[in-house]
Amino acid sequence: LIIGKFLHEGLIPDRNLADTLPSLEETERESFLSFAKMMLAWLPEERKTARELMEHPFLQRPKKHRNDFIHDR
């Protein structure tokens, strides 16, 4: 395993995804974070495929709740 260091650490925001979701209830928040973690895994062999992600409980929620994340522009 190669361990490196970012050349420009100052460009990396000092926050995480969990901190940007204050409007979600705890169970929805945890479900979304689980989904995002699987989708954004750094190592390709650990990253879930689109087919696998479609089975995630976050996407299996009732349609009413899924629309909470769609905003009209």
Model pLDDT for residues 17-68, shown as the tens digit of each residue:
888 888 888 888 999 999 999 999 989 999 999 999 999 999 987 755 555 5
Please tell me the pTM assigned to this model: 0.65
Q: How far apart are CA 36 and CA 53, in angstroms?
A: 9
Half-sphere exposure of 66 (CA within 13 A, CB side): 8
Q: Kind and range of the H or E element at 15? A: none
Separation of alpha carbons 22 and 8, rounded Å: 29
Q: How many helices (H) and strands (E) does the chain have?
A: 3, 0
